[in-house]
Structure formats: structure tokens, C-alpha cells
Amino acid sequence: MGFFDSSRIKPYNKTPGQLPISTMKNNNNSEKPVDFIREIIREDIANNRFGGRVHTRFPPEPNGYLHIGHAKAIHLNFEIAKEFGGKCNLRFDDTNPTKEEAKYVEAIKQDIRWLGYDWEDRLYFASDYFDQMYEYAVYLIKNEKAYVCDLSPEEIRLYRGTLTEPGRESPFRNRSVEENLDLFERMKNGEFPEGSKTLRAKIDMASPNLNMRDPVMYRIIKKVPHHRAGKKWYIYPTYDWAHGLEDSIEGITHSLCSLEYENHRPLYDWFLDQLGIHHPRQIEFARLNMTYTIMSKRYLLEFVKKGIVRGWDDPRMPTLAGMRRAGYPPEAIKKFCKVIGVAKTNSIIDIELLEHFVREHLNNTSQRRMAVLKPLKLVIENYPEGKTEELEAINNPENPDDGTRRIPFSRVLYIDRDDFMEVPHEKFYRLAPGREVRLRYAYFVKCTNVVKDNKGEIVEVRCTYDPVTRGGDAPDGRKSRVTLHWVSADHCIDIEVRLYGRLFLNKNPLDFPEGSDFTSNLNPESLAVKNCKAEPCLKNAKVGDKFQFERVGYFVCDPDSKENLPVFNLTVSLKDEWGKIKKFLI
């Protein structure tokens, strides 16, 4: 008979919102499993395990910002709950006050909402259950399944043994129940210094699974108050102890964990079995690993503290806040998570695949604008001085409903310096002396001359235009191999463009030479800031507005924007690594 004090537990509701098994179908009505986790869940439903319920949870620790790896777990848990007519909780695993802050709680909630998921009224914290966890621990002590140990953390590691050698029992393992109860209560009351005592489960010091060798359940933490509980507690549960209890109290049916917790599952089961309480099913899946990316929060925090990046939301970071600031659409991230799916073995996904889905979404949704990143003045010699035309430009060729806009055209323009070469090589088809090109939405122009400064640098390109080619088509049928983007010098605005690249040069940032560290793989050119010229309508851009700068890439308006100087971040370039993507998708 297990311990279950219903007066102290916040019970899960077994009936409201529960669907009959026959109605809990995959949204596409397919009986074929999508992946091994969904297959397990379908089997559980068919066998009426958990009464046909499906209840998952996403349990982040509030000790940092969420990253793209967390997005995979969020997507998996919320989507599975949706598919099977179930529920998904948001629960903060706030069991270590030395690393947790309230600001991370709010940031995590913002990220999950941004991805489009809603935990409704099911927001929980591990700290909600600290009283109940304490009572559970007392129950194990009374049943001689837990004891207070005076070994130091280092001594516990030494006594633990190795994969090939059994551990040694603590000299405090056989304390009496009465002594353990007294010491544990005094630990709770703050009578002992940090690190002096722990509460450990009494299992098997010779177990081949090191996690079963009398694991620590509680440790003393006194110096730092808890972000919610304040100074009420001086002892805090370890993850292994708290994890299963939280799942059980909330009535979770399927506890989806990353693969490193597979060896912890016997401990998860042992605690729940000893207490005789609701026992969810833990299922492990491979976490997301991606090229050019580090996802360890320890490293990410180091990036921030050392000033390697500008903050947790730096667009070079793999955090969801960073990706949001970079202009990544949440829809693209969710599609990426859906395509890569879940597996039982670890693998590495090319970051180009994520970028592909970002481009795909932005191509369909982003309005087009013209911006010149490296301005070079172009003067049309035969265009009337003082004259201005307004030309019609398409906002988004992928979406006719976005309509058109008017852009000013005048005698003096800016083109991109990379679009001109005085002595062109064989494969350069853009503007050069004597060559004619098309200006987007405007006219054909031919280069007649260049103007240089006293250092021999080209500062101005002289051209003539053909008035009958307005709109970019020649009545005589002649063609131009390229079309250049441009802005009117008299009407353009100044903008700041931040060209973000990958933070690391190596596909595996943690593969570095002996004697160095990950910083040896940092990309010194991961950020370039440029003062650019843009068409005037961009002065009305709002923070978060996304655009395709024609022939350049996709950009988003940054929060650092000022009234007289909009700031735009590069999301992704127009180039797509099709070779790798096709290989992955075929």
C-alpha cells in the first residue's frame, strides 16, 4: 500500500475535457504512426492505459532563455496533446535558486506564446509542490527508503564507485528512522550549513546503473532566496527526485524527455513505485543538435557574460529570443521541428535546413523594398534636372493582395558598389563602361563614364537612359542580362543595416585544438554594421516588420530603431543551400 495523502495533493481532474478513445484521433485521421512516440501513445490509448487520456508537459528550468532545441520539445509536447485531444502543461522546474530568476520565467512564457502555443490555465511550478515533496520524503524515511548523509559532495562521488566497480555504502546509511526524521527536519529549518548534509534514497550501491546508487534527493541551499518561495526553504529537491513527483501530481500521462534521461528512468520509476502514486510513462527522444550551433545554456550564459554577444536576444544566438530579433518567423521554426521529427538516436541537423524554411516562409509573406548597402552614386546625364517620376513597384509577387507602391525616380541615384566594375571579368554581367542594364521598375541605362577621387577610387558612375524603356521593357525587344536595384538620391533615407553571420566558423564549435577553447572557432566577422540608403517608405517600418531587400536578403526592423535612423537586421540571405536540403528531404 503506497503513500497517497489526497488532502495535501493538488489532484488532476480525470473527467473534464477528457475525450472518449474513439474520438482521440490524429488530425489527418491517419492510423499510421508518425513516429515512435505517437505509436506508443496510440498503443496506450488502445489499451486504455491512463483511461485513454493524453496529458503532456513542457518543464523548463528558469535559469536562462529557451533555444531552438527547446523549440523541438515545445512543439512535440503541445502538438501531441493537440493531436490526441489532450492537454499540455507549462511547468517551471524551479528547484535550484542559485541559478533561477523571475526574468527567465517571463522570457520563457513570451517565447512559448510567440511560437503559438497556449497552456491555458495550466501554469505550474515545482515550488508549488515543495510541501508535498517534503511529505513524500518523510514517508520514504519512515519506510527506511531514505536517510540523511553527512558525506561531502566529493566524498559522495568517491563512494559512488565506477561503471566497473560497485559503490561503497555511506557510514551514515543505517541511521535509525527517528534520527533521520530529526535531522531532516532540522535541515529544513536551516540548522546546518550548506554542503554539510543531504537526504539520499536508500536503493543499491552495487547497481550497474550509477543513478540507482543512493542518489541525492535534497541538498541544503541557504545563501540565495528562492524567486517565488523566498526564504521559506533551506533544502531543495534534486531534479531526479522532483521530476517524477511533479509529473505524478499533475496527472501527466506521457513524460517526454531527451535521451540523456534514459538511464534515469529506473530511478523515476523507483520513486513513484515506492510512493504508490500515479505513475506516468517516461519516453526518451534524441535532442536537437545543429551545425554551427552550441545549445548548452552554460555556454550561452558565458557568451552573454563575456560580451561575445550583445545579450540573450542577440540575433547570432540560437535562443528563440535571438531568432525572433533576427526575424525568424515562428511558423518556419515549427515547420522545421515537424520535418526533422523525433528519433531514438542522436544526429546532427544542418542549419541550412532551418534557414530554408525561414526563406520559404518569408518569400511568401515579406513585402519587397529596395535598399543599397554599399552606395555608389549614379548620374543619368540625359535625364532632366529637377524632374521626379513616381514608378509603380510590386510589393510582393507571391501575394497579389499586397498590392503596389510608388517609388520616386530622379536624375541622381544610388546603386550598389558591387554592381559596377570598371574592368569587368568574363563572368561579370552587371554595369560596366559601355554596357547597358535594366534598373528595377525603371529604365535601361548605359554607362558612359566614371568619376574618381584623388585616390583613384570611383565615386560616381555616369550613364544615359532610354526613355522608351520605362517599366523595364524595351519596345525593340532587346534584353538585359541583369536587373539592378537602386534608390533615388534626393528621396532615399539613411538606415543602419546589421549584417549578422554565423557566430562560429566550425560546423562543430566545440571541436577545437588542444590548449584552446571554443573561442578559437568564433567568427570575427559575425557582425558587420553598415550605413545604407533605402527607399523612403521604410521610414514607416515598425519594430518586427519584415522585408525582402531585393537582391540582398530578408531583413527585420530592430528595436534599436530611432525616428531618424531605422535599424534592420539581416535574417537570412537570398541564397539557399539547395544541395544539402534536397539530400535531406529526398
pLDDT (mean) for 548-558: 97
The total of structural domains in the chain comes to: 3
In a domain, 192, yes or no: yes
Tens-digit pLDDT profile for residues 312-361: 999 999 999 999 999 999 999 999 999 999 999 999 999 999 999 999 99
Domain of 472?
A: 371-485
Q: Are residues 480 and 499 in the same domain?
A: no
Q: Give me the residue label for grid cell 526564504.
A: 231
- CATH number reported for the structural domain that contains residue 34 in this entry: 3.40.50.620
Residue 12 lies in a domain: no
pLDDT band at 28 (very low <50, low <70, confident <90, very high): very low
pLDDT score, position 567: 98
Q: Does the pLDDT of residue 8 top 80, yes or no?
A: no
Final residue of a domain: which of 485, 511, 533?
485
Residues 183 and 42 in one domain: yes
**Residue 1 within a domain:** no
Do the beta carbons of residue 371 and residue 499 sit within 8 Å?
Answer: no
Helices 351-365 and 330-340: angle between axes, nearest 10 degrees: 140
Query: What's the whole-number mean pLDDT along residues 145-167?
Result: 97
126 and 265: one domain? Answer: yes
What pLDDT does residue 11 have? 33
Rounded percentage of the chain residues whose pLDDT exceeds 90: 91
Pair 63, 108 in one domain: yes
Per-residue model confidence (pLDDT) at position 297: 93
Q: Which residue has the higher pLDDT, 22 or 201?
A: 201
User: Residue 415, class by beta-carbon neighbours within 10 Å (0-12 exposed, 13-18 middle, 19+ buried)?
Assistant: buried
Residue 105 cell numbers, joined: 520565467
- When pLDDT is cut at 50, 70 and 90, the band that residue 168 belongs to is very high
Helix-helix angle 130-142:177-188, to 10 degrees: 160
Average of pLDDT values for 407-422? 97
Same domain, 326 and 401: no
Taking 70 as the threshold, does the pLDDT of residue 435 lie above it?
yes
| 208 within a domain of the structure (yes/no) | yes
Mean pLDDT of 518-526: 96
Asked whether the predicted pLDDT for residue 12 surpasses 70, the reply is no
Q: What percent of the chain is modeled with pLDDT above 70?
A: 92
What is the longest distance spanned by two Cα atoms in the chain? 102
What does the pLDDT read at residue 575?
82
Query: Please, what is the average pLDDT of the chain?
Result: 92
45-89: per-residue pLDDT in tens?
999 999 999 999 999 999 999 999 999 999 999 999 999 999 999
Q: What is the pLDDT of residues 223-251, one digit of tens each?
A: 999 999 999 999 999 999 999 999 999 99
**Per-residue confidence (pLDDT) for residue 583, from 0 to 100:** 46
Amino acid, res. 427 = K
Same domain, 418 and 526: no
Is the pTM for the entire model greater than 0.85? yes
Is residue 564 scored above 70 in pLDDT? yes
pLDDT of residue 366: 98
236 and 103 together in one domain: yes
Q: Which residues are catalytic?
A: 61, 287, 297
Pair 395, 347 in one domain:
no
Q: How much is the pLDDT for 23?
A: 29
pLDDT computed for residue 22 by the predictor: 28
Domain boundary among 433, 453, 485: 485
CB atoms within 10 A of CB 230: 9
Residues 72 and 91 in one domain: yes
Can you give the CATH number for the domain in which 463 is found?
A: 2.40.240.10
Residue by residue, DSSP assigns 53-68 as: --EEEE---SSS--BH
Determine, yes or no, domain membership for 5.
no
Tens digit of each residue's pLDDT (9 = 90 or more) over 78-87? 999 999 999 9
Collapse the DSSP code of 183 into the 3-class scheme (helix H, G, I; strand E, B; otherwise coil) and give the result: helix
- Residue finishing a domain among 436, 457, 485: 485
Same domain membership, residue 211 and residue 99 = yes
Does 382 lie in the same domain as 349? no
14 occurs within a structural domain: no
Q: What is the pLDDT of residue 492?
A: 98
- For residue 569, the surrounding DSSP H or E stretch is strand 567-573
Are 86 and 51 a contacting pair, CB within 8 Å? no
Neighbours of 23 (CB within 10 A): 9
Q: Which helix (H) or strand (E) holds 464?
A: strand 458-466
Beta bridge partners, 530, equal: 497
Q: Is residue 9 part of a domain?
A: no
Do 25 and 152 have their domain in common? yes
Q: What pLDDT sits at residue 576?
A: 57
CB 258 within 8 A of CB 231: no
Q: How many CB atoms lie within 10 A of CB 431?
A: 26
Residue 513 located in a structural domain = yes
Grid cell at residue 583: 539530400
How far apart are alpha carbons 413 and 403 in whole angstroms? 25
Write down the pLDDT at residue 161: 97
Say if CB 321 and CB 294 are below 8 A apart: no
